[in-house]
Structure 1
Amino acid sequence: MEAIIMAAQLMLGLSILVGLHELGHLLAAKAFGMRVEKYSIGFPPKIWGFQYGETEYSFGAIPLGGFVKISGMIDESLDTKNLSAEPEPWEFRAKPAWQRLIVMMGGIIVNVITGIVIFITMTYNNGESYLTKEALNQNGIYAYKLAQEVGFQTGDRITAVNGQDYERFSDLVNNEVILKENSTFQVLRGDSILTITLPDGFLNKFADKKEYDGQFLGARQPFKVGQVQLGSAAAKGGLEAGDRFISINNQPVMYFDQLKEILTKNKEKDIQATVQTEDAGEKTLDLKVGEDGTLGFVAEPLLDFSHEEYTFGESVNKGTEQAFNVVWVNIKAFGKIFRGEVSASKSLSGPIGIAQMFGGTWNWDKFWGLTGLLSMVLAFMNFLPIPALDGGHVVFLTYEMLSGQKPSDKFLEGAQKVGMVLLLGLMGFAIFNDVFKALF
């Protein structure tokens, strides 16, 4: 069922983004009097469609992209049979270069607008919840496997990052810190002050979802018992919502990581727990740990999160900044990949990896957040100067406008073929890489 939900979210998200992207091309083309023959969400074979005016609108069976076919344009269809004749006034090739440039930029512009609108709307509707430095350092950080490897310990209190004070926990794990070479953290451990530097090769490990699951630093979580499952070991042993663990088998338990470690070591064993009830009383319970290392209750975190609401004007500024930050991060990440600092196989994801990002449960906030992010990524990827992508057309049109000379149809056809080979190769690599990471 989880796989179906992942696939459904991926298909819906891509259909929205691809549909809007191709709509940008279509609307711009029609605005300049160009004939649009086909508009498709998804690639052939066609599963459904209809004719309206001069344009056929359809859905394809392969939901990994889409296209518009504009008369007189050399595109990925490589349909050049009519290009030897004189151009008709309604053909793409008959229009001025500046109009053709706007048509090719139409999809990118719509994706940028879509991403910005999503980020603004989410910021305005949801506001922002965050953990302050002070709230984080009340309990310290939780060091995941990768953090432990670079020198962190659970319970460390971080006082500065890259020599600067910080306000929120998110400032410690944002892309500026992760992508910066050899970022440093000032850490208070007991009475000692340490400096931990992210080593060379850290980003490669951070990108390794198989080994580290994208986890680095977390906030250490005090907790209380939330919902107790009926018939579970917790219910049978007398554990109730609102209880807080004091110890298990005489080992102190204040944080969720301590509970998880003890339960993992005691799978299918009897344990004795001392808990504090909601009325500040204490009780001792005999509990049986399940074979999966759980007792059968939901842990309710007790972290002191702050929340901030934003006016519409503030949301516009913040949402726009978040949207363009996605582009900036992608530029920096691609730069590191091309310089060989980060492995492409670990950092690039195809459709399977993207589906896994959506997750196996349907959460609308997460869905729209990822869709907004993907909209900006799609705009960035399409702007790359690769033939067969919008960016390749933009390069050729810009050359034409600056030089006054249009590249020959033969050259453009050859460039499209090269671009298609590159894109198919990249898509094949991404899909194979997803499968390889899933299996191995």
Structure 2
Amino acid sequence: MTVLAFVIGVLVLVVGLAVSIALHEIGHLAPAKAFGVRVGQYMIGFGPTLWSRRFGETEYGFKALPLGGYISMAGMYPPSSEATSKPTRRARMFDTLIQDARAVNDETLADAGEGRAFYQLPVYKRVIIMLGGPVMNLVLAVVLFAIMFSGIGIQTATTTVATVNECVLPAGTDRTTCEAGDEASPAAAGGILPGDEIVSVDGTAVATFAEASAIIQRSPGEQVDVVVRRDGAEQTLQVTPVLAEREVQGEDGDITVAEVGFVGMTAQTAYVPAPIWEGPQAAFEQVGQVVAIMGQLPVRVYETAVDTFTGAGRDPNGPLSVVGAGRLAGEVAATDQPIANRISGMLALLGSLNIALFVFNLIPLLPLDGGHVVVALWDGLKRAWAKLFRRRAPRPVDATKLVPVTYVVVIALILMGGTLILADIVNPVQLFG
């Protein structure tokens, strides 16, 4: 593993993550400004500010920890004068948190100007602003998968023969070379050579190696004509597939061992551009898979912790931290595969990361975007209910009351994130064994 290539892979992941976060926040920023909301800050990262510059009324900058980002909109909540709560002895700590949140919110309202607070917008505009960030991640993932599938292409076995086995080795053997007494492979006996381009098998024209293999696999013990193109001229060769145990892929994608016809040749691979819709389709299919993982996230994190402390192998389909994603990026970049393979792997990793950001931010809990969407919808539902029964319009929903829940969610996320970081350091997912 080349150290330099590994470091480059990690840096590509870090830069890709920063770009993803930046675009996520732009997804919030653009509609917020379009709807007239005063945006005080647009920041990438958390912690101390490394660099910032003000353009108009908005300060743009970078902070020390590039693990997220935010925009500061005026009036995320209604002013405290419109919704106050009386402190109670049983919940003074929570009351303090709520009052602190209201104080910060009131500071943003002071500079907002008439009608420029987020909470004053119609419900649909608030939903558009909060969904803008996750949707931007989904769009970026679709673009990355489209580039991977249609720009670079899918690695596909072509009809050109790469190698021809000298003999038929038994399934499951550790031997890689032929010995005296081994049966010659049907491909070698039939005269097939590396570099031959398969044109047809048993009278059927084939466009892929998979089509040729399917005909051969269902013809054990039968002599079949194989037309190949060699040095620009077509030749007809005869091969008789032998019955052998080999791994075959079913229509559902599962790999099983079955007795099929076998001739003993492999195909050259090449990147074949897929139709433009296959990349987006793969992205949306992965959204469903990530939703299933997110629905079981606490359980998955617990299982990861158990695997880490017991020394068991990690589930390659389990959750990862940023550290784990960076490690995988380094492994992809440091492999000895062709550059196209590595670029494709990095695109897949960044695309998957953006899909995870899309799904994660839609979780309907504050402080995530999905939580703000739920608050806006609840506010709209209350207003619609009052209008339906001709009642006085209710006060805006005071989401500061949910600040204690927000703190609990944040603490839970920190604990799960810390667990995954520890697991990715001590018991990392091994991409290449």
Compared with structure 1, are the counterparts of its residues 68 and 337 closer, same or farther at alpha carbon in structure 2 (3 Å cutoff)? closer
Match of 2:361 among 367, 375, 382: 382
Counterpart position of 2:102: 80
| Offset of residue 188 of structure 1 | 2.0
**Structure 1 letter corresponding to 2:43:** S
* Kept in 1: contact 2:324–2:429 (CA 8 A): no
Once residues 133 and 156 of structure 1 are traced to their aligned partners in structure 2, the CA distance between those partners, rounded to angstroms, is: 23
* Kept in 2: contact 1:336–1:342 (CA 8 A): no
* Kept in 2: contact 1:141–1:157 (CA 8 A): no
* Kept in 2: contact 1:72–1:82 (CA 8 A): no
**Aligned partner of residue 349 in structure 2, secondary structure:** helix
Counterpart position of 1:20: 23
Once residues 160 and 4 of structure 1 are traced to their aligned partners in structure 2, the CA distance between those partners, rounded to angstroms, is: 36
**Aligned partner of residue 384 in structure 1, secondary structure:** coil
**Aligned partner of residue 427 in structure 2, secondary structure:** helix
The 5 A counterparts of 1:138-217 are 156-159=245-248, 161=250, 165=251, 171-172=253-254, 186-188=256-258
Compared with structure 1, are the counterparts of its residues 401 and 371 closer, same or farther at alpha carbon in structure 2 (3 Å cutoff)? same
The 5 A counterparts of 1:2-401 are 2=4, 4-73=7-76, 79-81=101-103, 83=105, 88-131=114-157, 156-159=245-248, 161=250, 165=251, 171-172=253-254, 186-188=256-258, 303-305=267-269, 307-310=271-274, 314-315=275-276, 317-335=277-295, 343-345=303-305, 346=314, 347-360=318-331, 361=333, 363-401=342-380
**Structure 2 letter corresponding to 1:319:** G
* Kept in 2: contact 1:26–1:36 (CA 8 A): yes
* Kept in 2: contact 1:39–1:58 (CA 8 A): yes
Once residues 301 and 139 of structure 2 are traced to their aligned partners in structure 1, the CA distance between those partners, rounded to angstroms, is: 32
Once residues 334 and 392 of structure 1 are traced to their aligned partners in structure 2, the CA distance between those partners, rounded to angstroms, is: 15
**Structure 1 letter corresponding to 2:121:** K
Computed over aligned residues only, the root mean square deviation of the Cα atoms, in angstroms, reads: 4.0
Instruction: Tell me the alpha carbon deviations over residues 104-130 of structure 1, each in whole angstroms, 9 at most, x when there is no partner.
Output: 101011111111112122322222222
Compared with structure 1, are the counterparts of its residues 341 and 387 closer, same or farther at alpha carbon in structure 2 (3 Å cutoff)? closer
Compared with structure 1, are the counterparts of its residues 402 and 142 closer, same or farther at alpha carbon in structure 2 (3 Å cutoff)? farther
| Offset of residue 133 of structure 1 | 12
* Kept in 1: contact 2:27–2:136 (CA 8 A): yes
* Kept in 2: contact 1:140–1:157 (CA 8 A): no
Once residues 17 and 378 of structure 1 are traced to their aligned partners in structure 2, the CA distance between those partners, rounded to angstroms, is: 9
| Offset of residue 102 of structure 1 | 0.8
* Kept in 1: contact 2:49–2:62 (CA 8 A): yes
Q: Which protein shows a greater Rg?
A: 2
- How many residues matched? 299
Compared with structure 1, are the counterparts of its residues 337 and 384 closer, same or farther at alpha carbon in structure 2 (3 Å cutoff)? closer
Compared with structure 1, are the counterparts of its residues 54 and 340 closer, same or farther at alpha carbon in structure 2 (3 Å cutoff)? closer
* Sequence identity (%): 27
1:432 aligns with 2:396: no
* Kept in 2: contact 1:6–1:355 (CA 8 A): yes
**Aligned partner of residue 155 in structure 2, secondary structure:** strand
Once residues 381 and 125 of structure 1 are traced to their aligned partners in structure 2, the CA distance between those partners, rounded to angstroms, is: 28
Compared with structure 1, are the counterparts of its residues 120 and 39 closer, same or farther at alpha carbon in structure 2 (3 Å cutoff)? same
- What is the TM-score when the length of structure 2 is the normalising length? 0.59
Once residues 98 and 57 of structure 1 are traced to their aligned partners in structure 2, the CA distance between those partners, rounded to angstroms, is: 27
**Aligned partner of residue 110 in structure 1, secondary structure:** helix
Instruction: Tell me the alpha carbon deviations over residues 223-249 of structure 1, each in whole angstroms, 9 at most, x when there is no partner.
Output: xxxxxxxxxxxxxxxxxxxxxxxxxxx
Once residues 420 and 125 of structure 1 are traced to their aligned partners in structure 2, the CA distance between those partners, rounded to angstroms, is: 39
Match of 1:413 among 403, 415, 419: 403
| Offset of residue 376 of structure 1 | 1.3
Counterpart position of 2:386: none
**Aligned partner of residue 268 in structure 2, secondary structure:** coil
| Offset of residue 337 of structure 1 | 5.6
* Kept in 1: contact 2:158–2:267 (CA 8 A): no
| Offset of residue 74 of structure 1 | 5.4
Query: Gaps spanning 5+ residues in structure 1: where?
Result: 144-154, 173-184, 192-220, 223-301
